[in-house]
Amino acid sequence: MKNVYLNHDGGVDDLISLYLLLKMENVNLIGCSVIPADCYLEPALSASRKINDKFGDPETLEIAASTSRGKNPFPKDWRMHAFFVDALPILNEQLPVQTKVAEKPAHLDLIDKLKAQKEKTTLIFIGPLTDLARALEVDASIEQHIEKLVWMGGTLLPNGNVEEPEHDGTAEWNAFWDPEAMDVVWKSDILIDMVALESTNQVPLTVDIRNNWAKNRKHEGVDFVGQSYAAVPPLVHFETNSTYYLWDVLTTASVGKEALVKKKSVSVSVEAHGPSQGRTYENQDGKRIKLVYDVDHDAFFSYILDLMRA
The contact pattern for Ca ion, residues 32-71, with x = CB under 5 A and - = no contact, is: ----------------------------------------
Q: Is 126 in the site for Ca ion (CB under 5 A)?
A: yes
Measured from the CB of residue 8, what is the shortest distance to Ca ion in angstroms? 6
Alpha helices, DSSP H only, in 116-271?
A: 130-138, 173-177, 179-187, 197-200, 207-215, 220-229, 247-256
Q: Is 14 in the site for Ca ion (CB under 5 A)?
A: yes
**From CA 228, how far away is CA 208, in angstroms rounded?**
16
Measured from the CB of residue 284, what is the shortest distance to ligand AGV in angstroms? 27
The listed partner (Ca ion, ligand AGV, none) that binds 109, CB under 5 to 8 Å by sort, is: none
Measured from the CB of residue 75, what is the shortest distance to ligand AGV in angstroms? 8
Alpha helices, DSSP H only, in 61-169?
A: 76-79, 81-86, 106-115, 130-138
Alpha helices, DSSP H only, in the chain?
A: 12-23, 41-55, 76-79, 81-86, 106-115, 130-138, 173-177, 179-187, 197-200, 207-215, 220-229, 247-256, 297-309
9, 109, 131, 193: residue in contact with Ca ion (rule CB under 5 A) = 9
Q: Is the Cβ of residue 141 or residue 242 nearer to ligand AGV in the bound state?
A: 242
Measured from the CB of residue 59, what is the shortest distance to Ca ion in angstroms? 27
Contact yes or no for 41/131 (Cβ under 8 A): no
Reported residue count of the chain is 310
Q: Is 175 in the site for Ca ion (CB under 5 A)?
A: no
Which residue's beta carbon is nearest to the bound ligand AGV?
11
Q: Is 131 in the site for Ca ion (CB under 5 A)?
A: no
Amino acid making up residue 25: E
Residues in contact with ligand AGV by CB under 6 A are 11, 13-14, 38, 78, 126-127, 152, 161, 172-174, 242-244, 247-248
